[in-house]
Amino acid sequence: MTSTTEDHSAEPGQVSVAIVGTGLMGASAALASVRAGFRVVGWDLDVGRARRAADRGSFLAATSLEGAVEGADVVLIATPIPSIPELAARVLAVAPGSVVTDAGSVKADLVGAVERLAPSADLSRYVPGHPMGGSERSGPDHASASVIDGIVWVVTPTPESEVPMVERLERWIRGIGARPVRMDPARHDRLVAFVSHLPQVASTALMSLAATEEADEPEILLLAAGGFRDLTRLAASNPALWSDILLSNRAAIAEAIDLYVARLERLRADIAGERADEVAATFGQAKQARLRLAMKAQVRAGVAVLQVELPDRPGALAHLTSVLGEGDVNIEDLQIVHSPEGGRGTVHLTVAAEAAEGAGGVLSSGGFDPIRLA
Amino acid sequence: MTSTTEDHSAEPGQVSVAIVGTGLMGASAALASVRAGFRVVGWDLDVGRARRAADRGSFLAATSLEGAVEGADVVLIATPIPSIPELAARVLAVAPGSVVTDAGSVKADLVGAVERLAPSADLSRYVPGHPMGGSERSGPDHASASVIDGIVWVVTPTPESEVPMVERLERWIRGIGARPVRMDPARHDRLVAFVSHLPQVASTALMSLAATEEADEPEILLLAAGGFRDLTRLAASNPALWSDILLSNRAAIAEAIDLYVARLERLRADIAGERADEVAATFGQAKQARLRLAMKAQVRAGVAVLQVELPDRPGALAHLTSVLGEGDVNIEDLQIVHSPEGGRGTVHLTVAAEAAEGAGGVLSSGGFDPIRLA
């Protein structure tokens, strides 16, 4: 990352943003930009998709890529990973005043590809990134400014990225309501390999193994309780999307799988060797780490988590949710915490941070005893 | 399992049940037995605990083990695994008319220990079992007949178990509201190794690995979204309890871990070798299997699962839960289905099977479009 003169960007109304690719994430960033007062132009290879997105958010849909990005201060490329390098090189060439970023979920491979395609003079304005949000739905019809609210948006400058460009990008990210976190591309890829890609591989491998066993043992999934369902939920994700992501980050993922297998084999040896104290120690450390994680804010910043014990009687959860509804508490997320063998009883409730105190009061008045975890 | 004459048990009121160990599961089985009209006596090594359980359910707390089980038709031993074999042998000796069962979550090891301690003449009346329920809470104060409602209760007769004894046990299990599923002890242990014990090991190993990485990379968990949380939720389970379970089922678990590691290593090789089609095929098979699982009834029988799409606007979940509350729908469970990268939008709602139609109507009137999954 190289440092030159400081960039004095003006108010949002004087800053223009171009969104290339108006799927869920691109269109949501466009809507959040409109909300924050930026001038916004969108473009998509699929003209109808760009128009649908633009109609929802009252921004302009350009008819050509060049028309969209000309004069833009910030350009976000939010298209599928394979199309990003060529688009980035093209935009850098035709919009010489823009900082150009992208939303690809793996960075180092992508940066290498852009560096091979774009003249080195343009690379000072390329600042890759990764918004850590989304939804299981896709397309502009499900886009919303709220998809952006409070998410971590990783910004991964290269050694060529100029500081003012990085800062302009981060100002826009903060301006639309997300939380920029800066790190270099390789470190980003290594961290997501552990906390995003490895969980996906672990979940898919478990579901794949159970499916093979089920061919011989049709009753096996009758014995699968909440824990098995938690572990395999990710396995229902999009195969083509994940194949692209995993191959693009293959070195970091191979390392993460190796470390995971080593950890499994150590546990296996302790179990087979009847070393009860070792097994209990590993479980104890993991338990402490998981409890610390439960105390941390989620990826979405600006939220609070309340823990509520439910009395074990029919209708207890309905009572909780109706108390919250009558008290006008907006529930951001609600998780029933499962025991090792299923069952229920504890609810983790996520609400906006500024609503946490009010929610606590509503719950207490309704006969619950909430504990704020994060 | 040997077959002799048929057993014509009378109505619940003429059948007496003794519960040895009045923790959460024992006391819940006692309360469900009282509810169904069985005569119930409870005993616990901790006299105060037996009395607290008995007071909640209006059944007798015996002051001695012998006093509790004398003349009982069915005896359930629901104590920690290490104490079961000696208690089972003792009860078989002093209650010569009883079928004796237990609630240990691993069977083959336990059966071997009971067979070493009890005279072979008594073993015809020993019918081990495993109620697949529970709660993350423990102790009689959290016990409830509803803990038993609709759970799968695995019954694992040995070659010595007499058929009339097995049938008497299954009649009682059905009588208190659970669902008996019969299989031999080794098969039970092998199946739970895959769908209960392996998920626990996989979750603990992942959390343990991430905690080690966190020591070097304090920001790593900032990038952990809903998927990581799903995968590691089980890692917060009780270390001592799990150490006992895993060691007791060590052969089956070692086999399950080996098969899991092999599956992970195959995926690793396909990813590192850039075999996109192979990776996508494995993910595609796992996805299909997970979608089939989502269509199956949960371990708890007698429930229905409704899928509801939430519009992406603040308060949508609160609106859903208040519609359900106002419509007097009892929510058994509520899961927010996570996308690969967090987010929200789809809710899986579990209600009693007989309430599914009513819940569907309430949701439709409230502007939702529910789909019944199971």
- Contact across the interface for B312 and A217, Cβ inside 8 Å: no
Chain A: give the shortest CA distance to residue B202, in Å. Answer: 7
Q: What residues contact residue B277 under an 8 Å CB cut-off, 6+ apart?
A: none
- Contact across the interface for A274 and B299, Cβ inside 8 Å: no
Is A47 an interface residue toward B (CB < 8 Å)?
no
Is B241 an interface residue toward A (CB < 8 Å)?
yes
Is A350 an interface residue toward B (CB < 8 Å)?
no
Interface test with B, best of A105, A154, A274, A287 (most B CBs within 10 A): A287
Give the residue from chain A lying closest to B211, CA to CA.
A289
What is the pLDDT at residue A286?
A: 95
- Contact across the interface for A247 and B336, Cβ inside 8 Å: no
Secondary structure class of B102 (helix, strand, coil): strand
Chain B: give the shortest CA distance to residue A237, in Å. Answer: 6
Closest CA to B110 of B139, B92, B130: B130
Is A215 an interface residue toward B (CB < 8 Å)?
no
Of the listed ranges A185-189, A359-363, B301-305, the one predicted with least confidence: B301-305
- Contact across the interface for B276 and A244, Cβ inside 8 Å: yes
Task: Kindly give the interhelix angle for B239-248 and B198-216, rounded to the nearest 10 degrees.
Answer: 130
Total residues found in chain B within this entry: 374
Q: What residues contact residue A78 under an 8 Å CB cut-off, 6+ apart?
A: A19, A20, A21, A22, A23, A25, A26, A29, A102, A103
Quick: pLDDT tens for A7-34.
445 578 889 999 999 998 999 999 999 9
Is A339 an interface residue toward B (CB < 8 Å)?
yes
Closest CA to B169 of B90, B103, B253: B103
**Are B131 and B178 spatial neighbours (Cβ–Cβ below 8 Å)?**
yes
Ordered alpha helix ranges (H), chain B = 24-35, 47-57, 65-69, 84-94, 108-117, 163-175, 185-192, 198-216, 226-232, 239-248, 250-272, 276-295, 316-326, 356-365
Is A139 an interface residue toward B (CB < 8 Å)?
no
- Contact across the interface for B135 and A343, Cβ inside 8 Å: yes
Quick: pLDDT tens for A87-129.
999 999 999 999 999 999 999 999 999 999 999 999 999 999 9
Quick: pLDDT tens for A190-247.
999 999 999 999 999 999 999 999 999 988 988 887 788 889 988 988 898 899 899 9
What is the pLDDT at residue A338?
A: 43
**Are A37 and A101 spatial neighbours (Cβ–Cβ below 8 Å)?**
no
What is the complex's ipTM, to 2 decimals? 0.77
**Are A66 and A43 spatial neighbours (Cβ–Cβ below 8 Å)?**
no
**Residues in chain B within 8 Å Cβ distance of A225:** 132, 195-196, 298-299
- Contact across the interface for B286 and A204, Cβ inside 8 Å: yes
Who wins on pLDDT, B21 or A298? B21
Structure tokens at B331: 């929510």
Is A369 an interface residue toward B (CB < 8 Å)?
no
Is A229 an interface residue toward B (CB < 8 Å)?
yes
- Contact across the interface for A286 and B325, Cβ inside 8 Å: no
Rounded to a whole number, what is the distance in angstroms from the first to the last CA of chain A? 35
- Euclidean distance between CA atoms A93 and A78, whole angstroms: 18
**Are A289 and B207 spatial neighbours (Cβ–Cβ below 8 Å)?**
yes
Is B369 an interface residue toward A (CB < 8 Å)?
no
Is A295 an interface residue toward B (CB < 8 Å)?
no
What is the pLDDT at residue A339?
A: 36
Largest CA distance in chain B: 69
Cβ burial, residue A143 (10 Å; 0-12/13-18/19+): buried
Closest CA to B41 of B71, B62, B15: B62
Backbone φ, ψ for residue B283 (5° rounding): -65, -35
**Residues in chain A within 8 Å Cβ distance of B366:** none
Using alpha carbons, list the distances in angstroms from residue B95 to B17, B88, B142, B194, B272.
12, 10, 29, 36, 63
Average pLDDT score, chain A: 87
The Cβ of residue A27 has, within 10 Å, a number of other Cβ atoms equal to: 31
**Residues in chain A within 8 Å Cβ distance of B322:** 321-322, 324-326
Chain A: give the shortest CA distance to residue B66, in Å. Answer: 31
Q: Classify the phi-psi angles of A134: left when phi > 0, otherwise alpha if psi is within -120 to 50, otherwise beta.
A: left
**Residues in chain B within 8 Å Cβ distance of A178:** none
Per-residue pLDDT of chain B in tens (374 residues, 90 and over written 9):
655 544 445 578 889 999 999 998 999 999 999 999 999 999 999 999 999 999 888 889 999 999 999 999 999 999 988 999 999 999 999 999 999 999 999 999 999 999 999 999 999 999 999 998 755 456 787 788 888 887 889 999 999 999 999 999 999 999 999 989 999 999 999 999 999 999 999 999 999 999 999 999 988 988 887 788 889 988 988 898 899 899 999 999 999 999 999 999 999 999 999 999 999 999 999 999 988 886 654 444 566 778 888 765 556 777 787 788 778 887 767 766 543 333 346 787 877 777 888 888 999 888 888 887 76
Backbone φ, ψ for residue B132 (5° rounding): -90, 60
Quick: pLDDT tens for A300-331.
456 677 888 876 555 677 778 778 877 888 77
Give the residue from chain A lying closest to B280, CA to CA.
A239
DSSP assignment, residue A312? S
Is A155 an interface residue toward B (CB < 8 Å)?
no
Q: What residues contact residue B8 under an 8 Å CB cut-off, 6+ apart?
A: none
**Predicted TM-score of the model (pTM):** 0.77
Interface test with A, best of B206, B266, B285 (most A CBs within 10 A): B206
**Are B253 and A271 spatial neighbours (Cβ–Cβ below 8 Å)?**
yes
**Residues in chain B within 8 Å Cβ distance of A28:** none
**Residues in chain A within 8 Å Cβ distance of B184:** none
Is A192 an interface residue toward B (CB < 8 Å)?
yes
What is the pLDDT at residue A353?
A: 74
- Contact across the interface for A264 and B257, Cβ inside 8 Å: yes
- Euclidean distance between CA atoms B55 and B301, whole angstroms: 29
A39-77 burial, b if ≥16 CB within 10 A, otherwise e? bbbbbbeeeebbbbbbebbebebbeebeebbbebbbbbb
Backbone φ, ψ for residue B372 (5° rounding): -85, 120
- Euclidean distance between CA atoms B10 and A162, whole angstroms: 85
Who wins on pLDDT, A175 or A141? A175
